């Protein structure tokens, strides 16, 4: 596979800019959801069980997204 002279070199298995953009927005959404769930639990609109499940779910999704973004950057073809 030869690189096209008009194309910028790709780094990563998927396009890194796209992966970083998706990773940022997914992580941001997880943080916002966790904050809203925390505020609702503080004001006793939801139970603490729902709070911890929501926060744990958001933490797992956010960590997985950031890890995927980092691993994608390891697949540098150069």
How far, in Å, CA of 75 to CA of 1, rounded?
A: 16
Per-domain boundaries in the chain: 16-74
pTM, 2 dp: 0.70
To the nearest 10°, report the CA torsion of 7, 71, 24, 54.
150
How would residue 32 be classed by pLDDT, with cut points 50, 70 and 90? Answer: very high
Give the pLDDT of residue 12.
Answer: 67
Residues in the chain: 78
Mean pLDDT of 2-21: 72
3-state secondary structure of 42: helix
């Amino acid at each position: 596979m030869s690189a096209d002279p008009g194309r910028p070199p790709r780094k990563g298995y998927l396009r890194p800019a796209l992966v970083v953009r998706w990773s940022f927005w997914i992580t941001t959404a997880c943080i916002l959801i966790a904050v809203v769930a925390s505020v609702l639990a503080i004001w006793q609109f939801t139970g603490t069980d729902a709070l911890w499940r929501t926060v744990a779910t958001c933490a797992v999704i956010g960590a997985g997204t950031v890890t995927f973004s980092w691993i994608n950057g390891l697949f540098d073809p150069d």
